[in-house]
Amino acid sequence: KQGVRGRSLQVRADAGASGPKSGQSTFKVAVLGAAGGIGQPLSLLIKMSPLISELRLYDIANVKGVAADLSHCNTPAQVSAYTGASELAAALKDVDLVIIPAGVPRKPGMTRDDLFNINAGIVRTLIEGVADHCPNALINIISNPVNSTVPIAAEVLKAKGVYDPKKLFGVTTLDVVRANTFVAQKKGLRLIDVNVPVIGGHAGVTILPLLSKTKPTVEFTPEEVEELTVRIQNAGTEVVEAKAGAGSATLSMAYAAARFAESCMRGLDGDSDVYECAYVQSEVTDLPFFATTVKLGKKGVEEIVAEDLEGLTEYEKKAVDALKSELKGSIEKGVTFAKKQA
């Protein structure tokens, strides 16, 4: 099951002339929130993918210029711009993959949950559009708090009668990207070789790197486990503080989201060996949503890798138990919000 797990983003820009390597398909992709701090570099990175035929950029403002700018890159994806609610339907019509980085980011002193009041409504409205105009698309949710926005999306899709749990993902790739970087630095490993699964959710202690499952196998002292775990859990806050009021991670997030989108499309394209960690509907714990490694295939989640939760260290077992109550609360908050509005 090693496959392409933990692979860095390798956009096949050189494949522009020859087309996709593994299959014949190309995909229509919509980015909602495309003019934002994440949306712009994310759109640039995925514009380089030979797996994309159409790249639709949607935002409530400023997206025309972004699309005009990107459209001059000589890579195959055709870029188009859609502004405001009246153009959401056209942006979404029949797309294969929807990526959602729309919403407000944190400022110093805030938790991700502090974004709930604004972002919950944004995600709800955008997912209603997805349900109406591209109900078969894979959905990658980046907007925080991911632990709640994914359950909101699930409820909206259920209410519209189009929920397919295999197609809804909370993007937690940035946690894996960070874990790989920090572990490689700490242990002097070649970055390209390192993969650390990260499970649970995407906020504070709900982010749980499984350092004992690092590939290649590497020994950590208890102090190193504690230090690395806490750094990975607080890495978002590290960036928020460094940006000092100007937002949260955008460039590393764009990189991570582009990697996850490329993996989703490679799965759709029939590549048989694509694994990523993601926050999905899952039965690996008693919670309805949980991030683990998943296998991506032609219909989205092909398999949830339950082995992630086997053979954990005592430290990791305790951390799983400890994260559940916060994650449960965030899931319930999302579900309650969505049901109240229905």
> What number of residues does the chain have?
342
- Gap between the Cα atoms of 80 and 233, Å rounded: 37
Among 42, 99, 240, 280, which residue interacts with ligand LMR (rule: CB under 6 A)?
A: 240
Amino acid at 254: A
Catalytic pick among 202, 213, 259, 333: 202
Among 140, 147, 149, 248, which residue interacts with ligand LMR (rule: CB under 6 A)?
A: 248
Among 56, 112, 213, 333, which residue interacts with ligand LMR (rule: CB under 6 A)?
A: 112
- Gap between the Cα atoms of 145 and 109, Å rounded: 15
Binding mask 7-36 for ligand NAD (x = CB under 6 A): -------------------------xx-xx
- Gap between the Cα atoms of 213 and 299, Å rounded: 27
Cis peptide before 41 (omega within 30 of 0): no
- Gap between the Cα atoms of 115 and 143, Å rounded: 9
Is the Cβ–Cβ distance between 228 and 220 less than 8 Å?
A: yes
Residue of minimal Cβ distance to ligand LMR:
236
Binding mask 29-68 for ligand LMR (x = CB under 6 A): ----------------------------------------
Nearest CA among 101, 275, 249, 244 for reference residue 175: 249
Among 98, 130, 146, 152, which residue interacts with ligand NAD (rule: CB under 6 A)?
A: 146
What, of ligand LMR, ligand NAD, none, does residue 29 touch, CB below 5 to 8 Å by kind? none
Strand, helix or coil at 279? Answer: strand
How far from each other are the two terminal CA atoms of the chain, in whole angstroms?
41
What, of ligand LMR, ligand NAD, none, does residue 102 touch, CB below 5 to 8 Å by kind? ligand NAD
- Gap between the Cα atoms of 49 and 45, Å rounded: 7
- Binding flag, residue 106, ligand LMR (CB under 6 A): yes
Stretch that binds ligand LMR, among 15-23, 93-101, 159-167, 232-240 (CB under 6 A): 232-240
Binding mask 156-195 for ligand LMR (x = CB under 6 A): ------------------x---------------------
Is the Cβ–Cβ distance between 230 and 208 less than 8 Å?
A: no
CB closer to ligand NAD, 76 vs 236:
236
- Gap between the Cα atoms of 136 and 299, Å rounded: 9
Cα Rg for the chain, rounded, in angstroms? 19
CB of 149 to ligand NAD, least distance (A): 8
- Binding flag, residue 95, ligand NAD (CB under 6 A): no
User: Parallel, antiparallel, or unpaired: how do β-strands 168-170 and 300-304 relate?
Assistant: unpaired
CB of 125 to ligand NAD, least distance (A): 6
Residue 202 is among the residues annotated as catalytic for this protein:
yes
Catalytic residue annotation = 202
Chain residues binding ligand NAD by CB under 6 A are: 32-33, 35-39, 59-61, 101-106, 115, 119, 122, 126, 142-144, 146, 171, 174, 202, 247-250, 253
